Each structure stands twice: as C-alpha cells, then as structure tokens.
Structure 1
Amino acid sequence: MKIECLRRLRGPNVYLSRPAVVARLCLEDLAGVETSDVTGFTERLLRAMPGLSEHHCAAGAPGGFVSRLRNGTYFGHVTEHVCIELSQLIGRDVSFGRTVGTGQAGAYDVITECPVDESPESRVPGELVRAAIGLVCEVHGGSVPSARVLAERLAGLAALAEREATGPSTRSIIAAARRRGIPVERFDDLSLVRLGWGHRRRLAWAAMTDRTSAVGVDIAGDKHVTRRLLDSAGIPVPAGGAAAAAAEAVQLLRELGAPVVVKPRHGRQGRDVALHLATPGEVSRAFAATGGEAVVERQLDGRDYRVLVVAGEVVAAAERIAAHVVGDGRATVAELVEQANADPRRGLGHSRALTRIVLDDAAERVLRRQGHSPGAVLADGEVVWLRDTANLSTGGTSRDVTDQVHTDVTRLCQRVAALVGLDIAGIDLRLPDIGAPLAPGDEPVTSGVIEVNAVPGLRMHLTPVHGRPRDVGDAIVRAMFPGGSDGRIPAVAVTGTNGKTTVTRLIAHLLSGSGMRAGMTTTDGVVIDGRTIQVADATGPRSAQMVLGDPHVEVAVLETARGGLLRRGLGYDWSDVGVITNITADHLGQDGLESIEDLAHVKAVVAERVRDGGTLVLNADDPWVRSLVDRPRVRADRKRLVWFGLDGTNPVLSEHLARGGAAYVLHDGWLVQATGARRTPLLRLADVPGAYGGAALHVAANTLAAIAAARALGARPESLADRLGEFDPSVENPGRGTLFRIGDVSVFVDYAHNPAALAATLRTLHRLWGAERCVAAVTLPGDRRDDLLAASAQVLADGVTRVVLYEDSDPRGRMSGEVSALVEREMRARRRQSTVVRADGYRDAVAGAVRLAAPGEVVLVIYEKWAPMRAWLAELGAVPAGGAPVVASFAGWPSTAPGATRQVARRLTGSPARG
C-alpha cells in the first residue's frame, strides 16, 4: 500500500465545511482483500490502538468500526480510521473521515479532516497517513508494535505538529476572530495571519498588528533608549546607563551602588539578564554574557508584574514568578525539575502554556548562590529558585492580578504605552503591591517600570497557573475591528457550466458603477479595480485569496470552477451572494465525476456556502439548478432565493412570485425585475450589449443573473440600464461572443467547449445569418470523455455544413489528431454531406475557414487560448465589428421580441432592413 498523491482542500469542499486532506492510496497487494480475510487482523489492530473501539463509523455509535473490521472492510477504510486515531493521540482534534473509490482498481481516496488553523503547507497530514499505512501493513503482516515503539512514533508526530502550530498568542487572536465571524487566513507555517477581507483586512503577527508603530518597536527594543525616554517624561524608572565595555559597566556599579542588574541592551525574553550583582567581577562576567552592549541599572525592590495595554486600555495584569521547585524531603533538585517538566502544560519554546525548565549554567549559578546544586535534596516545603528573571520563556509561572490593579498603576501603564507609541505593549513593573497606590516620585526610585515590550507574549494572561484566564486575544481583535465589525467585504461567488466568466465580469462591472472597487477572478485572470494583475486560469482558492487579501478591494466577485473546488476546496468560507448559471454535461470522467448529478453535487458547494440571510441566485430554466434548493446542506430556507430565467411561464417562477418572491425574467422583449405581482422593466433585450439585438438569448440569461446579483448587493435599478450600456463586450468580455470582420466575412469568436455551449452559440448564428451561411473553425479539449466529444460533434453537424477542425496545442493526455478524428467521424455519421477539413493548428484552421466562407457569411471560431488567437486574427486583418454583423438576411428572431426584426436590422446595420 502506498500514497499515490496527496492534496490539501484548504476551505469548504464537497466532503465537509472545513479543510481536509485527500490521500490517494494504491492498495497494491491488498487490493480486493478485506479485513475478515486476514486471520487475527482485527484483534492485533485493537491491541495496538485500543481507541479504535470507540470509533462510530457508519453505525453512528461506539463499536461501529470494530463491527466493520470483523465483518470485512477494505484496507483503505482501515487506514482512514487509523489516521484519525493517530491524529487524536497527538492532540490534533479531528473526527471526520471518508474513503471513496476512484474508479481505478485498488485505488481509493482517503479523506480526513484537518484543523481549521493548520498551515496549508503543513507536513503533518502526510506524515499521519504514512504512519497509518505503516501501522496497518505491520499489523497485516502479523506484528503488533510495542507500546514503547508506538509512543516514540507518536512523540515524533506530536513534535512535528507542535513545531508547525501557531503559538498561544496567535492562537488566541485567531480564536477570537473566528468567534466574531472574521475570516482568518494563515500564511504558510508562520504566525502571520490575515484577518478580514479587502479594504477591511488587517494583519497580525503574534501580539503585533499592521498598526504597530515601527518606531515604537525600535524604542522598546533598545532598553537604554526606553529608559531615557520614560525618565524624561517623569515615569519612575531605575537609575542606570549604557555600557559598551566591561569597565564602563563596573563604573556604573560604583555610581549606582549594589545591587545592580545587567542586561543586554537589545535582549529579549530574559536572556542573559543577571540580577543581584554586587561586585566588579560579577558585573564583568555578566557584561561579557551580553555580547558587548549592555544596560546597567539599579535593582528595584518588589514583585515582578506584567501589565498588558491594548489600544490605550489595560486589559490584563499578571504577577510573574521565576522558575523554582519546592522540596519534598526525598527528591533532588534535578528530579524535582523533571517532575515539573512532566506537566503537560510545559513544552519547548512558546507552543504551550508553560515552558520547560532547563538546568543549565544559569540555573546552576542561581542554585549555588542559594547553597544548592542539582543533586541536592531539598527539605519538605523548601523553595529553591532556578532563575532570577521571571520570564515564562525561562520556565516561570504567572498569577492573574487584573482585578487588583490600582488606578495609579493603570494610568501609569497607559502613559507608558502612549509615550513609546505602541498599540499593544507589555509593561514590566517592580512594585511592592500592584493593588496599592504609587508612592510620590521622589529620588531614589525604588519601584517602577523596568521594561517595555513590543510584541508581548500573551501566555501568562491566557493560561495563568493561578487565577482567572483573560481573553486578551479578544481584546486585540476588538481593537483591530471596533464596533463589532466582522472585517468582511461583500463577496459574490459564481459557478455553473457555461456563462460563469461573462456573468462574473458583468457583476463586477455593475458593482464598480456603484462606486465600489471590485476585485474579480475569472478563467482568464485576476482583475483588481479594472486592472489585470495576473493572467492565468484564476478560478481556484489561491486566486480568490489574492482578491480577498487585497487592501484596495471593496467587493469581491469570484468565478468558482469545478476543478479548483475539487482539487483545493473553496478559497473563502462564506459568500453574500451565490450565482449558479446552469449545470450541463462537461468535464465528466474527470476528478471522479461520472454524471451530471456528480457535477451538480460539486456546484452545490457554492450554494451551501452562501451565508444565512444571503442571496442565492439560481437559473429557473435549468432542472439541475432547480434541484439544488432541495439539498439539506444548501438550507435554502435560510437564504433569500432569487430566480432568473427566459421563460416567464415557468411554474417555478410563477409559484415563487405568487409567494412574494423576487425574480429577473425576460418578458415581452425586456429584462424585467419581478417582485410578487409587480414588474419593473430594466432594459430592452435589443439593447443588451453582446446580445446582438436579442439573437443571443444565452447572453440575456447571463445578464439577468448578473443584475440579480448586483441588486442583491444594493445596485440601484435606475442605474442598471446606463451601466449595462457602458459594458463593451469586446473589451471587457473578450473572446466570449466577440464579432470581427475580415473583408465581407464576419468572424464570431467564442469559447464554447461543450454541447450546450456550442448549441447556444450556433442558435445565435442561425438567428443572424441562417443555418446555411455558417462556417466553423473548431477545436475541442482532449480531456473530455468520448461521449461528450461525440455529442459536441453532433451539435456541430446539426448546426454547420462546413467545418475546419484543429487540435489544441495541449492534447491533454490524448494522441495527436485523436480528437479531430473522433469529431470528424461523428460529424460525418450525423450528416454525410458535411464538408469537414482537418487543419494543422489554429492558424491554418481560421485561414481555411475564412476561405470557405462566401461574402456575407459568418465563420465561428472556437479557440483554446485567447491571446494567440486574437493576435492571429489581427494578422489576418480582422477588425472589431462593433456589434454589427455583415449579413445578407435575418433568419428569424426570438418569439420574446415579436415584430422586432426590422427595427433591430436598422440598429445593427444603420440602413433599412433587407430581406
């Protein structure tokens, strides 16, 4: 058994609403083998992992998985459950798993949940799957790993998970943001997180925000500058000075008098800080440890306190207690330290509530000063200190004293944070009692501020050893997002089979006309405020995050395609508006999709992730789209449902409007907003850009969908017609029904790659030119199933009699010429009198099709990539037709615009109607 590939679904997906990892397993020799076929397998597995007996599986109760094991189940399913159990054993709290067949013999996709804040780049999911495979294979082979071996494996996995996890400070901010509904995106395996979207987004890195002053950070990072700045403002600070040489440090000892503190000028976390120094030798040695730049200060009396100030308010305070052990009359100091480190709250670094105590040289020096060594046995109740400094990073503990802080201390700390210029500051104090009023500022100072910390650690407040925990992460989030803001901008998600890109572009155009800076993702790239910033197929989660993370964007319009959804999940948690254009046969045979029902299941994710109270815009003319409202996960009753459609007599529309609902429909040649019994005409069909006077009915459907989405976000109906009139399809929607002229021949360029899209495009051409006056230069993608290619070929055979076929530059897994041969065969079988020519590439195909066309006829060009096709058309002398096709006659018009033929002809040609 081995992993064939592993992919991360970073957001909501077809399996669940949280991130997941999909591991494709090749069972190899275990293919077709069930657990009941292997004698003793179930018992051995349960001996190794007894926690599996609690797994529910499909039974919905503990023991369900054991029943499956005994009755027989495949080893991909076993690997799924072992992976989940391993995850739980290392403290990674996940419960969802699923195993599905891939259609290939012996290959299964094992899907397991991932913690929502785990880095998208985390190695943990892959290592867990590998460990699960190893264990299953070992047990299958007749072995059971010992408890010691299993513990070692788990320890390695736990250590990896801990290294990749965010620290407590960042974790508290993320948790507070999520409780407020603020979107959170973590960058790689760092503690840098983005909270919110677009122009409302904020950045946080531990207890530092994008508004934290760089000057304030630099001041706090220089202990000498901090002390001088505060002293000049009348803040009580210890007397002292900077030393660049040991002799200068000793001279300060003489001037200040013992005891003194020596600390690195630019140090942090209590490293190389020495207290209780009284002799020149001690000071010289302490100076050497600082690396050459030190601050020497008179040591203040009192207890060690840390006060946290956020946005000018004191939100927490803690007394910090240096690392120590308490004797029991039996254990040595070293043994007591080992016992203390066995506390599960202690870990390495800052990943847990407390840090492990280290018996290093610094600890031994402190012990010697107290007359002890690591091997000394302490009397029962005797307290021995292991550090002079009370930092949690050196093993210290904390006691919450927030409710005891005297108003004098509060005002002092507020002043200090403001003087240094920090939005978040940790202020270290030495005071006899934080609950007592401050003594007058007489000299010499015996208590006061000893340090100011930028990016202060929050652990001591979040999980104090004694006292009440303080949700300081929430205080930081409230300061970043005042007034209860959730940090979101309006977001529209657009999916479907055909029309997605056009609808996305139309929505962005309409909303930007309302004064909003729109960010947009489409098949062709990422656009921010009208400027393309990336040219690519940008319909996946990475591109969505590019828009949502841009600080200029005020509204996001996100084309969301099947491929990105299946392979990487959604790039966002919720949208305000979801649009589903249609669901027809395409991409079947890919990514496990075998039917339109499978495709509908994928598209439904966009409907499911419309927030409660948001708007779901659906195509009433499409049966598969209509079926989505009945899916339990869609929860249509919690959303505002808006339909659009071309058939005003559709029973779905009629019933919806009878209940007072809203819809956008085509009626008597107009795009109409309907609410209950009220009808508001918005725009004549003949005036819709790119609809060619109404010949392109699918463009009318796309426009209705876009209007519905824009209205859901507040676009005014009176401005829609003007704004739509400003939409230039040749510029803002190039390659989607774009019309050119080469001499007396029209060239109609479109991106139709499936039967439904080809049929819609050909119907448009037939209405304008007639079925006998159309030529086509066509390529179809090789990654479509043979039956879909055959269906496309049959549509072509029914729609045109002269076709030039060519191949995509990327055959997508097929042999060169294979697609063209299949299409030609199917076309000839459908219509024997068809003229079908195969060309070598798009250049020969287009040129050949133009030669086949007579004056006044049209050439339909289906392309693979827009940029090279546009360049080749320019070489051929093609010029934009400006919406006016070169026609000899009009073949007929939609029944929704009766009597409009002559008027539309005049509008398109600028002359009296012909024919």
Structure 2
Amino acid sequence: MTMKTIQLLRVAHLRGPNIWTYRPVIEAWLDIGDLEDYPSNTLPGFYERLTAWLPGLAVHRCGVGEPGGFLARLREGTWAGHILEHVVLELQNLAGMQTGFGKTRQTSVRGIYKMAFRTRQEQVGRAALNEGLDLVHAAIHDTAFDLPAAVLRLRELVDVHCLGPSTAHIVEAATERGIPHSRLTDGNLVQLGHGAHQRRIWTAETDHTSAIAEEIAGDKDLTKNLLRSAGVPVPEGQVVQTAAEAWEAAEDIGLPVVVKPYNGNHGRGVSLDLTTREDIEAAVVVAQRQGGNRVIVERYVPGNEHRLLVVGTQVVAVARGETAWVTGDGVADVLGLVNQQINTDPRRGATEEFPLNVVKPHESAEIILELERQGLTAYSVPAAGARVLIQRNGNVAFDVTDQVHPSVAATAALAARVVGLDIAGVDMVLEDAARPMDQQRGAVVEVNASPGLLAHLKPASGQPRPIGQAIMAHMFAPGDTGRIKLVGITGQTHTTLIARLVSWMLYIQSQKVGLACRDGFYLGVRRVDARDGAHWDAGQNLLMNRSLEVAVFEHTPQGILSDGLAYDKCTVGVVTDVGDFAALSNFYIDSADKLYNVMRTQVDVILPHGTAVLNAADPQVAEMAPLCDGQVIFYAADPTVQALAAHQTAGGQVVFLQDGHLALAHGLTSSARLPLDTLPAWPDDKLDVVLAAAAAAWALGMTPELIGAGLRTFQIPSQ
C-alpha cells in the first residue's frame, strides 16, 4: 500500500536576493515519498481533476517557454514537487496577489526536493502553500476540495496583510525607477531608498506632508477662510452647532444650501441642494453623526463634483462625479431597483478593487435623507417610469483629466499650496471642467490630505493615470534612486576582517558608515551590538538608519541560504573564496557547483555602475566575473595569476603585491604603489585582507593616498 503524500520538511521565507532569484521567495523542502515513483501521467484522473479546479494553469509557461507548457509537462509526466509549485502560484493569482516565478529542484537524496516560489507577502505565501498541498493531495486521491473557500481564505489574508492598491501602485512606480523599498509596518508605511537618501510614504502622504497642513485641511472653516484670502473661489458659509442655527444660517446665506461635517472628508455626511427647514435640520443630524457637533452650512454651488489630485504643484488627475438614479417599474421597491439598476454594474464592489461603491439606500444616512426629501424610503415602490434620485455625490470616478481647463487646474494647485499640502485631493464643484473659471459658477469645496487614489488608478470610465510615477517624480529628482553606497562581502575566509577594514577606511574619511558583520553591529567605530550582525535583520537596521551615507555588510553562505541578502542591489560586491561545502550539508549543499551558486548571489546583485571585487587566486571566484553587470577588479598576491594578468592586459583594474609594494593598476600603463613597510605588519596568511579591502576602497572611488592612510591607521585585532 502506498501513501502518495507530500511532507513539508522545512519552510523558510528568503526575504532578499537568494540562490533562486532577486526577489523574496518562500523555499520549501519537500519529501514526496513514494510519489517519486508516480509522476503525474501515472495517476488516474489526476490531470482532469487538477485542471478542472485550476483552469488558469493553462497559461503557465513552465520550462517550455509558452502558454500551455506546464500542462504539456503534466500530461507527459512530472513530479509532485513541480506540480505543487505551480498550484501554489495559481492559488496566489486567484487570491489577487499576482506571482509567476517558481522553481523546483531535486536534491541528491531520493524523494527530497527544494521548491521555491515568489510571494509578495509571507503569510499569504505560507497559507497558499498549505492550501496547495491539500489541493494536490485531493487531486491525487480523488477526494473533495472546496476551492472557493480556499481562495476566499487567501483573499482575506491578502486584504489584511498586503499593501493596499494605492500604496502598491506607488511602490511599483518606485521599482520601475530602480528605487528600493522596505515595508516598515504591517500597514502602508513604506521606506523608499536607503539610509540618508531615503524617503517615506504612507499611502498618499509623504514624509514632507506637513502635520500643520493636515490639521488645516481637517478644519473646513479655516481652510475656506485661507482659500478666500488667497483669491480661491469658495462658497459662502457659516459654522453652526444646532438645527435652529443651521436654518438661521441658511436664511442668511440664501437657499439652496449644503450641510456638511466641520471635520469631515471625502464627501461623507454631505447633503446638497437643501431648500426646506425640515431637510436642513435632518441634514444637520447626518453631518453630526459623521463629524461631531459642529457643522458647516454653505451656499449650494450648482454643477458636478470633481476631484482634482495635486502632486507637488501640478494637477495630475481629475475625476468627475455623476448622480445616481433609478427608474420605477411599479413592482420593485427602491432597494430592489438599486440592486437591479445600479449595483449590478461590474464596476461596483465592496473592496478597493472597485472604482464605484455598492449603493445601500437602506443604510446610508445621506441616501435615506435624499429619499425622504422625495417622500420615499428604501422600501417604497415608485410608479412605473418614475425617476428617483438616489445619490447626488459619491460617484467621483469618471476620468476627465484631459478635458480640464488650465485655469481650473491652476485653481486647484493654488488651493493645495495655500493649505500647505504636497499631495492633496481638491474637491471642486464645476458646471464644466473644460470651461475657464471666470466663465462658470465654480468653487473649491474641500481640500483633503491623504487623498484616495483609486478613482484615478481604476476609473469607472476613461484611462488610468500614472499617479505613482508623478509621486516618484515629486519625491526624487531625475536619476535619483534613493540609494546610498552599499558594500557586500561574501566568502568563508577573513570576511569579517575585510568588512571592518573597509568600514574603517570609510570612517576616517568622515563618511557616516554603518557595518553589520559577525563581530557585531557598528555605527562608525562604535559597536552598538556585540551579537553576530551578519544576518538579514541587522542589515535592514543599517538600511533604515537615516544618518548613514554608506553601509558595509558581511555575508555568510549560511545567511544567504537562510534569509537571502539584506538589500536588492549593491555598489561593491566582494567575493573572497568559494570554500568548502562540508559545513552546509544541512542545506543539501553537497557539491562545489551548488556552493558556487550560493556565493555568486553577491555578484548577481551588483549595480550596473558598481564593481565586483574578486579573488583571482580562487578559480571559481574568478569565473564569476562575467556575471557582474558592472566593472570588475581582480586581486591576488601574485600578479602572474592567470585571471588577474589577463584582466590587466585587457585594461582592467587589478590589485596585487610586487617588490614589497601594494600595487593598484589600471591596465598596463597606470598604477599606484604603496610600500608595505609603511603599513601595519599583517601576518602573511592575512595579506589577502589588505588586498581585498584596498580593492573595495578603490572601487568606491578612494584615491591611493586615502587608501594608504586607511591601511596605515587600522588597528589589527589581536589574535
């Protein structure tokens, strides 16, 4: 009897670049047991059951390189680990978290596989792995599996744990610019860039969004007074606290009027076009429920509501609102008509994925009041052909950016500037956004901090607007990626000492440097934590430090295999040696080729304008040179080492020892020489430390004179 099951031996989240890919992945070690003897084509009905549950597998390319590639492999016969990989990817896609990368590789132990798959969020990825395991087992054994319930569970995790769509859009725009990002909380607070060059966003707020400006925007009466003083057209209004005061104010202002919360935003609790005392008093109750006792009564401006998104000094997107109506049939009540004629629109939904909200006439206080003004409730049955106004505002999702007159855009930009917001949602009532302001009755009715972006990213009609790109252009100058210089040092010999020496040379040049190595965590020369710092968390602490201009990281093969690198890209990557794989057998690293793939990770992440510093005396390290997207500096004690000599002959940079000197040569014609007798007395078995550190410093742009000063003043640790 066979069990035909997959066991999870180990599941790890590799949070940085790793042996599989540049992006975070979940790595699972699988024991497929006797399924090693049962590829997919030997399991009766498996193909049919799996593809019936997951028809989206049809577009998976797999190794064939075209849609349908995975299904071809499935029909021909492939193994359980590979199948689980694709099932997990498809479950994440169904849950709304798009992913496409996965790999599965057999280890040297029969039945044991390593599987890696891309995930944008760890908890969701782990849950998808568990759901996928159950699904594959059900398909193998022809048992029940509730796919809709599984996808719903994953969707709920996506909603809880993943970035919101607006923040995700901004982060994607940052990625397109080559700007790295780190999520600082479980919410939408995100760091863009590193160290002293970093910026931060919180959805549509930046670290330059003024708290004072936010307070002003939240005070509608103060906002209006400031706008009026700057010449921005605003409706006349008064602040009141009681229904009687509201009616008195309305009489002073002149009917019709608008009643809205004093501290409200985004149109919540707003009642429009009020003409009777009864309606005004009812609207006061609605507004007070939303924003407290104080409410604003102001002149009603006829026209359509428009939301203009201002980023910096520019209007980058504009959406128009539309009123919502239903037509009676003499049979259905208002609630039924709304569900039939409005909520069936596929653009409406309860989540942020939808540009329009579901309309609930029996729950919304504003709609209930609007119906009462027409003598109706949500359960009234309008006569056949009778039109019923359901909602005057709240449907601001129809893109009109290209139609907006420059004077309208200038008014919105001025309003944002007066309030002091660098990103603002300016609500304007306009008869026609395409007409000049002086030719229509238009006014600014609200200025909002942290404006919603979804109406511009997924409009109900019209084209989506590149909001993320506009925000990146506002936050970062052209060509600025928010990066500081990062140095990564990988190998199994003297890497800690090299990291400390490189950090010292940077420090004595008055650079604000941080170091994470096995000796601890350093800021400048001060060790702030004596615990082993050669791991992902310590590296992240460096990247978050707003004072640092450069950071140095030591990496071990164990750290790369356990967590990945702490950064996405680096300026300088040093590889000292490949070393022995014996200590990594618990990772199923049992050959020189497998260890090579671990160590090359450091070279894979070097920026195009960066440099790989490679030990030419180690043939495997020298072989990594073509993998580097940037420049290469070879170092070796012996200048006749083949890789170094060939590189120098070709005009490359090399560092070596010759005639009692440390030589830094650029090709055959240009070189600098530092007398070894002027340097501290390094043991012969550690001279490679001096070579590697000097080469890394040279790659960072230090002159030979400064390199010499750094080497002379470094205190060699006692044995």
Normalised to the residue count of structure 2, the TM-score between the two structures is: 0.90
Specify the alignment match of 2:554 in structure 1.
Answer: 559
Q: Distance in 2 between matches of 1:108 and 1:359?
A: 56
CA distance, structure 1, for counterparts of residue 131 and residue 337 of structure 2: 34
For the structure 1 residues 714 and 284, does the alpha-carbon distance in structure 2 shift closer, same or farther, using more than 3 Å as the test?
same
1:511 aligns with one of 495, 506, 513: 506
| 1:173 Cα offset (Å) | 1.7
Match of 1:88 in 2: 93
- Matched with 1:415 is 414
Query: 1:453-852 counterparts in 2 under 5 A?
Result: 453-585=448-580, 587-629=583-625, 634=627, 636=628, 638-678=629-669, 680-689=671-680, 691=682, 696-730=683-717, 738=718, 749=719
Q: 1:36 to 1:415 in 2, by over 3 A?
A: closer
Secondary structure of the residue aligned to 2:117 is strand
Partner of 2:129: 129
Q: What is the CA distance between 1:112 and its match in structure 2?
A: 1.0
Cα distance 1:653–1:447, how it changes in 2: closer, same or farther (>3 A)?
Answer: closer
Check 1:566–1:435 CA distance in 2 against 1; reply closer, same or farther (3 A cut): same
Q: Relative to 1, partners in 2 of residues 1:126 and 1:345: Cα closer, same or farther, differing over 3 Å?
A: farther
The alpha-carbon deviation at position 265 of structure 1 amounts to: 1.7
Q: Deviations over 1:239-267 (max 9, x none)?
A: 22222344433432333333222222222
1:611-653 CA distance string (max 9 Å, x none): 22321110011122122235xxx2x4x4211100011221222
Q: Secondary structure at the match of 2:445?
A: strand
Q: Tell me the secondary structure at the aligned position of residue 623 of structure 2.
A: helix
Tell me how far 1:371 sits from its aligned partner: 6.2
Amino acid at match of 2:18: N
In the superposition, relative to structure 1, how do residues 490 and 243 fare at CA in structure 2: closer, same or farther (>3 Å)?
Answer: same
Match of 2:393 in 1: 389
Secondary structure of the residue that 1:643 maps to in structure 2?
strand
Partners in 2 of 1:607 and 1:3 — Cα distance? 31
Residues 755-802 of structure 1: per-residue CA shift (max 9 Å, x gap): xxxxxxxxxxxxxxxxxxxxxxxxxxxxxxxxxxxxxxxxxxxxxxxx
> How far off its partner does 1:715 sit?
0.7
Secondary structure of the residue that 1:569 maps to in structure 2? coil
Query: How far did 1:370 drift?
Result: 4.7
State whether structure 2 residue 429 is matched by structure 1 residue 430. yes
What secondary structure does 2:481 align onto? coil
Paired amino acid for 1:356: V
Residue 373 of structure 1 and its aligned partner are, at CA, apart by 6.0
Distance apart, 1:460 and its partner CA: 2.4
Q: 8 Å contact 1:324–1:384 — kept in the other structure? A: yes
Q: Secondary structure at the match of 2:437?
A: coil
Preserved contact between residue 326 and residue 337 of structure 2 (Cα < 8 Å) = no
Q: Which residue in the other structure is 1:880 paired with?
A: none
| Structure 2 partner of 1:851 | none
8 Å CA contact 1:168, 1:352 repeated in 2: no
For 1:81 and 1:39, the matched residues in 2 are separated by 20
Out of 198, 212, 216, the position equivalent to 1:215 is: 212
Q: Which residue of 2 aligns with 1:321?
A: 322
SS class of match (1:487)? coil
Q: For residues 278-302 of structure 1, what are the alpha-carbon distances to aligned partners after superposition, in whole Å with 9 as ceiling and x for unaligned?
A: 3344333333332423222222222
Which segment drifts farther, 337-346 or 471-480?
337-346
How far apart are 1:482 and its partner, in Å? 1.9
Separation (CA, whole Å) in 1 of partners of 2:279 and 2:529 = 61
The answer on whether the counterparts of 2:511 and 2:549 sit within 8 Å (CA) in structure 1 is: yes
* Deviation digits for residues 815-863 of structure 1 (CA, Å, limit 9, x no counterpart): xxxxxxxxxxxxxxxxxxxxxxxxxxxxxxxxxxxxxxxxxxxxxxxxx
1:169 to 129, 153, 166: 166
1 or 2 for the larger relative contact order (CA 8 Å, sep ≥6)? 2
Q: For residues 700-739 of structure 1, what are the alpha-carbon distances to aligned partners after superposition, in whole Å with 9 as ceiling and x for unaligned? A: 2111111111111211112221222121234xxxxxxx1x
Q: Give the direction of change, closer, same or farther, for the CA distance of 1:432–1:397 in structure 2 (3 Å limit).
A: closer
Contact 2:322 2:392 (8 Å CA) reproduced? no
2:248 aligned with 1:251: yes
* C-alpha distance in 2 between matches for 1:565 and 1:547: 17
For the residues of structure 2 that align with 1:28 and 1:336, how far apart are their CA atoms?
Answer: 56
> Equivalent residue of 1:386, what SS?
strand
Residue in 1 that maps onto 2:3? none
Cα distance change, pair 385–31 in 1 and its aligned pair in 2 (3 A): farther
Q: Is the 8 A contact 1:323 1:385 kept in 2?
A: yes
**Match of residue 193, structure 2, among 191, 196, 204:** 196
Deviations 1:66-108 (A, max 9, x none): 4544554432332222112222333432222222345666554
- Check conservation: 1:616, 1:642, Cα contact below 8 A: yes
- Asked whether the 8 Å contact 1:429–1:450 carries over to 2, the reply is yes
Q: Distance in 1 between matches of 2:154 and 2:679?
A: 60
Shift of 1:682: 3.6
CA 1:63–1:303: 2 relative to 1, 3 Å: closer
Quickly say closer, same or farther: Cα 1:64–1:158, change in 2 above 3 A: same
How far did 1:27 drift? 4.4
Secondary structure of the residue aligned to 2:266 is: coil
Amino acid at match of 2:420: G
Which residue in the other structure is 2:357 paired with? 355
- Select between 651-660 and 521-530 the one with higher mean Cα deviation: 521-530
> CA separation of 1:446/1:40 partners in 2, compared to 1, >3 Å: closer, same or farther?
closer
Q: Please, which moves more after superposition, 223-232 or 571-580? A: 223-232
Q: Show the counterpart of 1:142.
A: 142
Between Structure 1 and Structure 2, how many residues are aligned?
Answer: 706
Task: Pick closer, same or farther for the CA change 1:108–1:438 going to 2, 3 Å.
Answer: same
How far residue 665 of structure 1 moved from its aligned partner, in angstroms, is 0.1
* Alpha carbons 2:355, 2:397 under 8 Å: kept: no
The structure with more radius of gyration = 1
Q: Aligned partners of 2:57, 2:169: CA distance in 1, in Å?
A: 31
The amino acid that maps onto 2:711 is L
Shift in Å, 1:554: 1.0
1:158 counterpart (155, 160, 170) = 155
**How far apart are 1:6 and its partner, in Å?**
2.7
Report Cα offsets for 1:5-32 as digits up to 9, x if no partner. 4322222211122221123345467575
Contact 1:510 1:715 in 2 (8 A): no
Structure 2 unmatched runs, 5+: 1-5
**Secondary structure of the corresponding residue to residue 321 of structure 1:** coil
CA distance in structure 1 between the partners assigned to 2:312 and 2:663 by the alignment? 51
Report if the CA contact (8 A) 1:322-1:389 is conserved: yes
| Structure 1 unaligned blocks of 5 or more | 391-395, 731-737, 739-748, 750-915
Residue number in structure 2 paired with 1:51: 56
Question: Using the alignment, how far apart are the partners of 2:405 and 2:584 within structure 1?
Answer: 70
Residues 25-34 or 289-298, more deviating: 25-34
Q: Secondary structure at the match of 1:593?
A: coil
Cα distance change on mapping 1:139 and 1:293 into 2, 3 Å: same
Equivalent of residue 225 in structure 1, options 219, 222, 226: 222
Pick aligned residue for 1:237 from 234, 240, 243: 234
Distance 1:39 1:437, change over 3 A: closer
Cα deviation, 1:432-465, whole Å, max 9, x if unaligned, reads 223333349xxxx964111111111122223333
Letter in 2 for 1:607: V
The residue aligned with 1:98 is 103
CA separation of 1:85 and 1:283: change in aligned 2, threshold 3 A: same
